[in-house]
Amino acid sequence: MKKIFKIILLVGLVVIPVYISFSYVKPVTVYYSEDDGKFTVPLGKSYSYTDVYVKRAVDGDTLVLATGERVRLIGIDTPEMHESSKLHRDSKKTNQDVKTIIKLGTRAYEFTKKLVEGKRVNLEFDVEKQDQYHRLLAYVYLKDGTFVNAEIVRQGYASIMTISPNVKYADLFLKLSQEARENKRGLWAE
């Protein structure tokens, strides 16, 4: 009886924790690049964020990479284009109706989509690499050097949103936002 108890105890202390630890491991995902016909396997989260493919724009300030990771553009905020609590908060804050905000959000999304979707980019991180929703927080650059976050603000499709400690380009974004408003570019044209 003592021998059976020891075996059960051994199973409980060794086998079950090992099983549980492996059940939480994410499966390895293999990605195929249509550009160069190569397969890639990102191991861990330490792989490079240079020359990464933007699969799609989610909205005016969020992207999805070919890896499936979401990227929130640091320092900028575009109007919402989907029903959400933020949409209603923004409506109250700006005294604009929900339909107007959705229309503006759709225009910002279309601009961002045209700018980055289907293109290869480099990501630059600030102090914090992820937000509370596990999105990457990044400054994004096209291969030609275009600073995506700044270009969206410069063209008038985003306002600035500075959240400490990620403030590296806050002064630049403020300057570009003021210029976009003064020159009635993008969403400021209306």
Query: Which of 69, 107, 135, 154 is an active site residue?
Result: 135
80 is catalytic: yes
Amino acid identity, position 5: F
Which amino acid, residue 79?
P
Is 110 a catalytic site residue? no
The Cα 76–Cα 174 span in angstroms is 10
Q: What is the DSSP string of 95-163?
A: T--HHHHHHHHHHHHHHHHHHHTT-EEEEE--S-SB-TTS-EEEEEEETT--BHHHHHHHTTS-EE--B
Catalytically annotated residue among 56, 69, 70, 72: 72
* Measured distance CA(48)–CA(8) in Å, rounded: 45
> Active site residue: 56, 69, 70, 80, which one?
80
In Å, how far are 9, 31, 45, 135 from 24, measured between CA atoms? 23, 21, 16, 20
* 120 in active site: no
Residues tagged active-site: 72, 80, 135
